[in-house]
Amino acid sequence: MTNETYIKKLIEDGSRIDKRSFDEFREVTIEKGVIKTAEGSARVKIGNTHVIAGIKMSVGTPFPDTPDEGILIVNTELSPIASPKFETGPPSEDSIEIARVIDRGIRECKAIDLGKMCIVPGEKVWVINVDIHVLDHDGNLIDAGGLAAVAALLDAKIPKYDVETEKVIKDETIGSIPIVDTPIPVTITKIADQLLLDTSVEEEEAMDARITIASTKNGSLCAMQKSGKGYLTTVELEKAVDWSIKKGEELRALLT
């Protein structure tokens, strides 16, 4: 019996390898301020999955269509130290997908007031780089990365910028990043016609489909991304939305 077959058989019988219920997360821990050289940072552990997010801020030129708004850039690095499946080199499809899903949740709900990140309209704005590094991969990287990204943004401080000398003064800060919402992504995975939260890496190898749904602090949906070859019925999608909002509230409470 292959591992995938074994996982599906367990789920068909109403069980999981670690005995959790289908809608139960592993233990979640969040620690802010773990990288002293970054403007903000956070470490998130979900079970044995371990992710660190760091915020680096620089001054750049705004996009032509948003001359008075700062810029948000999200990157994810899947290092070989986290899993033998990851390789060095250009960003993989998985790392690009993780970064895009997390970015979309933050951007679509306007979690950051980017208008307040403008220094000189049309000339200089703050560029917020969110770098997510996976240290240990045991499944559910999107949720772990998204939680780490939001926690790091909440932790971040804006450096002082001298307009005359055009230099960033790293040792001085002028306040926090203007965060107006805290979008939390929750991924629901379908295996053997059952929906599961917080899948382990073994479970993900047996998945038919998955959908990540990001919700805001008032319970509204702000982003959705489906992947995998399988499908979700209307009933399953409604259940996934309910789970994402409920679990999003629980995870958001851990950010304080």
Q: For 7-51, how does the pLDDT look when each residue is reduced to its tens digit (9 = 90+)?
A: 999 999 999 999 999 999 999 999 999 999 999 999 999 999 999
Question: If you average pLDDT over residues 81-110, what whole number do you get?
Answer: 91
Do residues 156 and 177 lie in contact, with contact meaning Cβ atoms separated by under 8 Å?
A: yes
Residues 6+ apart with CB under 8 A from 161: 59, 119, 126, 167, 168, 169
Map out the domains of the chain with their CATH numbers.
Answer: 3-253 (3.30.230.70)
In the three-class reduction of DSSP (H, G, I as helix; E, B as strand; rest coil), residue 201 is classed as helix
Q: For 62-79, how does the pLDDT look when each residue is reduced to its tens digit (9 = 90+)?
A: 999 999 999 999 999 998
Cα dist from 221 to 41, 46, 195, 215, 226, whole Å: 25, 23, 19, 4, 14
In the three-class reduction of DSSP (H, G, I as helix; E, B as strand; rest coil), residue 173 is classed as strand
Q: What distance in Å separates the CA atoms of residue 91 and residue 6, rounded to the nearest whole number?
A: 32
pLDDT tier, 53 (very low <50, low <70, confident <90, very high otherwise) = very high
